[in-house]
Amino acid sequence: MQNGFDMAAVRFFAGLNGHRGLDDVFVYGLHYNTVQTLPIAMIAFAMWLTAPRDGRRSDIIMTGFIAAIVVVALAMASKLFLPARPRPAALGLYPFTRQDFPFDWSSLPSDTLAILSAFTAAMWTAERRWGIVGIAMCVLVAIAKMFAGYHYPTDILIGAGLGVATFTGLWRFPDIGHRANRIVALAYRRAPVAITAALAFVAVSFGTLFADQRVLVKYMLGKESISGEAPRVTAAAGSRAVVQMLP
């Protein structure tokens, strides 16, 4: 499933590994899900919370939340049921700074970029300045994913395309977001604390890429133990990658 374009990018980013300043930013600083997705999810949540309940902006942001949930489901289904694509660092062809990383998910597509792109498309449609913030975050995260050996460029492009296409498709039928927004707005008026807490929980779940929920779903499908222990890959010194179970 590799091609010349992807492998050229893998070789390029692997060659940048080992520089402390770059590693600090792209391998470690931008590696964590709460840094990658939580800020954008919380901005979207704040945009909905501060918008008039019956206004166009709140409809758009609600559509963005729906689109993000849809792409999470689509990305998870593809990783569970389509042929697995090993992550670039798992190939063992080039050295990467991170020698341990999750191996229980296929690299295709990038679910992180799918989520970020769905939110960014909604934010861009609602308010350009926040859309620009989302685009900047998408670019930084895309670089970090490739830098750390987690994804190929095509994983990134497909994930981003999936997010934008899902939001665009849903927004072509604005009644979807409008009706969902009315239901949530009605519930918010009746129980503002409970609904705010529920929406905040959803936003934070996006920030962790639904890690706990994934473990539960995979367990229910017989894909993984309920303990959450997952196969990981450790790159053997100077050669091939080995699959092992970490304690």
Does the pLDDT value for residue 158 go beyond 80? yes
pTM check: above 0.85: no
Q: How far apart are CA 71 and CA 113, in angstroms?
A: 10
Please, which pLDDT band fits residue 52 given cuts at 50, 70 and 90? Answer: confident
pLDDT tens per residue, range 165-181: 999 999 999 888 889 98
CB-CB contact of 147 with 88 (8 Å): no
Instruction: Indicate the range of 25-29, 58-62, 73-77, 115-119 predicted with least confidence.
Output: 25-29
Burial class (CB in 10 A: 0-12, 13-18, 19+), 201: exposed
**What's the confidence (pLDDT) of residue 234?**
42
Determine the average pLDDT of the residues in 24-29: 80
